[in-house]
Amino acid sequence: MGLALLFGLVSVGAALFTATNSYNYAILHAQELETGNLLVTSGGAFGLAMLAAAVAIVAIHAYDA
């Protein structure tokens, strides 16, 4: 259960990072300011969140048996 919890927390953290970057992008884009790499980092964090969630689900089922 430890690995599932670890990857679950990583997934939640990456999802929060995705939401923060997306919100910052929307604000800066509305103000017509430079957005930099906010969408790239947001996409990377989203990918990390999905991967960590998948590994957490696998860890739950692997240690369930």
Q: Mean pLDDT in each 10-residue stretch from start to end of the chain (65 residues)?
A: 89 96 95 92 96 93 78
Residues 47 and 7: their CA atoms lie apart, in Å, by 13
| Pick from 62, 44, 65: nearest CA to 54 | 62
Identity of the residue numbered 33: L
The reported pTM is 0.83
60, two tokens: 């739950």
Distance CA 32, CA 25 (A): 10
